[in-house]
Chain A
Amino acid sequence: GRRAYAPPAERKRFYQNVSISQGEGGFEINLDHRKLKTPQAKLFTVPSEALAIAVATEWDSQKDTIKFYTMHLTTLCNTALDNPTQRNKTQLIRAAVKFLETDTVCYRVEEPPALAELQKNEWDPVVAWAEKRYNVTIGSSTSILGPNIPASTKETFVSHLASYNMWALQGIEFVITQLKSLILSMSLIDRHITVEKAVLLSRLEEEYQIRRWGNVEWAHDYDLCELRARTAAGTLFVHLCSESSTVKHKLLQD
Chain B
Amino acid sequence: MAALGAPLRTLRALLRELRHAAGRSYRDSPAYRHVLAAFRAHRVRAEKLCRAQQELHFQAATYLCLLRSVREHEALHREYHGKGERSAQEVAGLVGFRLPQQPGGKG
Query: Which positions in A face B, CB cutoff 8 Å?
Result: 20, 50, 53-54, 56-57, 60-61, 67, 69-70, 72-73, 191-197, 218, 221-222, 225-226, 228-229, 232-233, 235-236, 239-240
Q: Are A225 and B72 touching (Cβ within 8 A)?
A: yes
Identify the closest chain A residue to B32 (Cβ).
A57
Identify the closest chain B residue to A61 (Cβ).
B21
- From residue B26, how far is it (CB to closest CB) to chain A in Å? 10
Most chain A CB inside 10 Å of its own CB: which residue of B2, B18, B21, B69? B69
Q: Are B30 and A57 touching (Cβ within 8 A)?
A: yes
Contacts of B4 in A (CB 8 A): 194
Q: Are B66 and A72 touching (Cβ within 8 A)?
A: yes
Report B42-70 CB contacts with A as 1/0, cut-off 8 Å.
00000000000011001101110110011
**Total A-B residue contacts, Cβ distance less than 8 Å:** 87
B1 touches which one: A50, A53, A192 (CB < 8 A)? Answer: A192
Q: Are B76 and A192 touching (Cβ within 8 A)?
A: no
A67, B71: Cα distance in complex, Å: 12
Q: Are A191 and B73 touching (Cβ within 8 A)?
A: no
Contacts of A228 in B (CB 8 A): 65, 69
Residue B34, interface by CB 8 Å: yes
- From residue B54, how far is it (CB to closest CB) to chain A in Å? 7
A191, B65: Cα distance in complex, Å: 14
Q: A191-B1, A232-B62 are in contact. Are A57 and B31 (CB under 8 A)?
A: yes
Q: A57-B21, A222-B77 are in contact. Are A239 and B70 (CB under 8 A)?
A: no
Q: Are B62 and A20 touching (Cβ within 8 A)?
A: no
Residue B97, interface by CB 8 Å: no
Q: Are B72 and A221 touching (Cβ within 8 A)?
A: yes
Contacts of A60 in B (CB 8 A): 21-22, 29
Q: Are A191 and B55 touching (Cβ within 8 A)?
A: yes
Q: Are A67 and B65 touching (Cβ within 8 A)?
A: no
Residue B90, interface by CB 8 Å: no
- From residue A230, how far is it (CB to closest CB) to chain B in Å? 8
Q: Are B31 and A232 touching (Cβ within 8 A)?
A: no
A61, B68: Cα distance in complex, Å: 13
B59 touches which one: A56, A196, A236 (CB < 8 A)? Answer: A236
- From residue B89, how far is it (CB to closest CB) to chain A in Å? 21
Contacts of B3 in A (CB 8 A): 194
- From residue B99, how far is it (CB to closest CB) to chain A in Å? 26
Q: Are A233 and B66 touching (Cβ within 8 A)?
A: yes
A-B residue pairs, 7 tightest by C-beta: A232-B66, A225-B73, A229-B69, A61-B21, A228-B69, A232-B65, A57-B31
Report B21-40 CB contacts with A as 1/0, cut-off 8 Å.
11000000111001000000
- Further 13 A-B residue pairs, CB within 8 A, beyond A56-B30, A229-B69: A60-B29, A67-B74, A70-B73, A72-B70, A193-B2, A195-B65, A197-B2, A218-B79, A218-B80, A222-B73, A225-B72, A232-B66, A239-B55
- From residue A222, how far is it (CB to closest CB) to chain B in Å? 5
Q: Are B30 and A53 touching (Cβ within 8 A)?
A: yes
Residues of chain B from 1 to 17 with CB closer than 8 A to chain A in the complex: 1-4
Q: Are B73 and A57 touching (Cβ within 8 A)?
A: no
Q: Are A70 and B31 touching (Cβ within 8 A)?
A: no
- From residue A192, how far is it (CB to closest CB) to chain B in Å? 6
Contacts of A20 in B (CB 8 A): 30
Q: Are B76 and A191 touching (Cβ within 8 A)?
A: no
